[in-house]
Structure formats: C-alpha cells, structure tokens
Amino acid sequence: MPYRLVSLLALALAALVNPALAQPGPGGPPAVGVVQAQKRPVIETSEFVGRIQAVNRVDLVARVTAFLQERHFIEGTEVHKGDLLYRLERAPFEAQVAGQAASVAQANAVLQGSSLTLGRAEALLNTPAGQRSRVDDAQSTQRSQAAQLANAQAQLRLAQVNLDYTEIKAPIDGKISRTTVTEGNVVSPSSGTLATIVSQDPMYVLFPISVRAATDLRDRYDDKGGFSAVTIKLKLPNGKMYDQAGKLDYVDPTVAPNTDTLTLRGRIPNPLRAESKPGDPGDRELSDGQFVTVLLEGVQPVEQIAIPRVAVLSDQQGSYVWVVGDGNKVEQRRIQLGQSTPETAVISAGLKEGETVVVDGVQRAKPGIVVNPAPASAGLAAPAPAPRN
C-alpha cells in the first residue's frame, strides 16, 4: 500500500476518534475542540496554616512542702478527673490536724466556763450581792474566749486543707506528661510543675488570617449564617485529610500590630483511632501544638463558572483563554482564577456562562483568526468533580 494512502487512512481514523483533530483541506480554518463555560456547584474554600491547642491544660504544682512518697500514674497515658496522681508525706500534717483539734477542744472548754461565769454574774445583778462591773468583765472574757475558739477552728480547717494537699489529684480528664520530680524528693510550691495534663477531645485549632481575608470571609458568609455557615476541615502534616469536621467558635477582638492579622479559633473532635487504646502512641490524630492546614469550607455549594484546566494558558500578564466568538473568530480573553484543581479551573472573572472556550488545539488558536470548532473529546469536555474554591 502506498505511503500516502496509509497516511490518509491514519488521519481518517484519528478524525473518527476526535472530530476536532480532523484537518480541513489546504487553506481551510484550523480545527479546534471547544466546550461551553458552564456554572457548576463549587464548595468555597479558604486555606490557612494553623496549630492545634488543647481545650484544657493544667500544670500540676505542689501546694505544701513535703517529701514525694508515691506516684500513681503511667507517664503519657490518659487520666480522669479525680484520679490520685501523687501522694506526699502525710504524718506531719496529720499531727498538725490532731494538735489543732486539741486546741479547738481546749478553747471550747474555756468558753463554756466563761459562759457559766457570765450567767452567774447576770443572775446576781438584781440582788444586793450583784455588781454591774462583774457582769461587764464576764461578758468581755466570754467574747474573747469565743474569738479564741473561732481562731482555733480556723486553724483546724487550715491544717485539714494542708493535709488534703498531700494528695494531688487530676483536676481534668486528659493525657499526662512525664513527671519532672521522682519519689523521695522534697517538693514545694516553688518546685515548679510536677507534670502537665492536656485534654484530648475535642481540640482547638488556632490560625491567623489577614484583616483583608477576615473581611472577605465576613462579607461572604454574613448573610448566610456567619459561623454556622462555615465548616472547618484539616489537612494533616502527611497530606491526608482529617476525617472529622469542626466549627468556628471565636475571633480574636484585637489585630496583631506586627502582622496585621486576626486569630480565629475552631473546635474539632479528636476521637480515638480505630483499635487504639487511650495512651497508646498515636492513639489520636491531633496532638497539642501540632501544625495543620486549615480549610474553611462553606456549608452550601455556590454556582461558579468552571472549565477544563487545560484550556487555561498564562504569560507574563497573567492567565487567559481562547474564546470562539461570532463568525468563529478567536479572541484572547484575560481571566481571574479561583482556587482550582489540576483538572478544573474555577473562573472568578473574565468569562460568562455559555461562552465557547478552546480546550483542544489551543496551539493552533491565535487572536482574530477563524477556526473550525467542534465538540472536544469526551475526556476534556466531561465535568470534573466540583472543585473547592
């Protein structure tokens, strides 16, 4: 078979596969594949860098000075509110409680005696043997000893409080750090933090955004429900999407003077991973202090113009596409892109719905020339999944 005939057959087969590739006769307009710009549901998304922060965080500190006798937790595990964590030496404080209890008993006995003396002086006041000065002295003595009893009772309560401080218990649920002081050492309020407990579920995520971005978010969602119209999703350091969603719950009222940013905060669940036990390494996806990528997504998708990404070209002036207008003439159209995927470009400005855009044979398109448009191949014209804008 002659070479020319083979070439013509190959070209005919290619044209059957993609009509846009069929070349007209010599001098005819070049063939291009086109699609119409259409509106598609797009999830509006803004991306920021954030840091995970525990909702509750407690530094355990000794409230009294004593020897550390016992530690009742395993470092790095989860503890529950009320769990005994440390026990300090109790004997000196128990003796102090007993001594103060004796002082209360003694002060109470003295008060009872002075009360009897006051009663007798008052009974004799209206008799020849009675004297007003004795009643006054008895009243003064009785009130002084009542005050001494109250002081003794206060000292007893203080001694009991100090005794209770010899047991350091968990004030919250959470994961406990390693201990900084081991058994046998003397601890006191000046010893610093013995261990730290951070809550695990839920977690906060804090992220700074520029004032301009904050204003854009406000304008975008103010009439759609504000915070309730936005969902927080996270991208983990390994690039995977976190499978839990959260909500915004706080905006810092003050702009950082050095960076001109506001800090936003969201609350997001942090449950145990499947088949993990509390305290196991990596038992939860989120950890206090961890860096993540924060995605603010609108709850409801919005309609925006989207085209195949291959149709978008760029030069020093920015992004553009080839648009086929009246008489099949090609026009270069400058566009502004939203946040797009590798397959789909979201057009925020520059295109109208229904306009014809060249996606196949873009290298043959030039401003002002006439082309022969045909529907693009199915792989280029098929709508991609809704991108996140």
Kindly list the averaged pLDDT for each block of 10 residues, start to end, along the chain of length 389.
Answer: 43 46 59 86 81 95 94 92 95 92 86 71 61 69 83 91 94 94 92 94 93 82 76 90 90 88 93 79 87 84 81 89 90 82 79 88 87 77 51
Topology of the domain comprising 63-88+166-198: OB fold (Dihydrolipoamide Acetyltransferase, E2P) (2.40.50)
At 341 the pLDDT is 67
Contact in structure between 11 and 26 (CB atoms under 8 Å): no
Tokens for 322, please give them.
Answer: 């080839």
Domain boundaries, the chain: 29-41+303-381, 46-55+201-302, 63-88+166-198, 91-164
How far apart (Å, rounded) are the C-alpha atoms in residues 197 and 58? 5
At 123 the pLDDT is 66
Is the domain spanning 46-55+201-302 CATH 3.40.50.300? The answer is: no
Topology of the domain comprising 29-41+303-381: 2.40.420
Closest CA to 246 of 273, 228, 225: 228
At 3 the pLDDT is 40
At 224 the pLDDT is 76
Beta bridge partners of 198: 57, 175
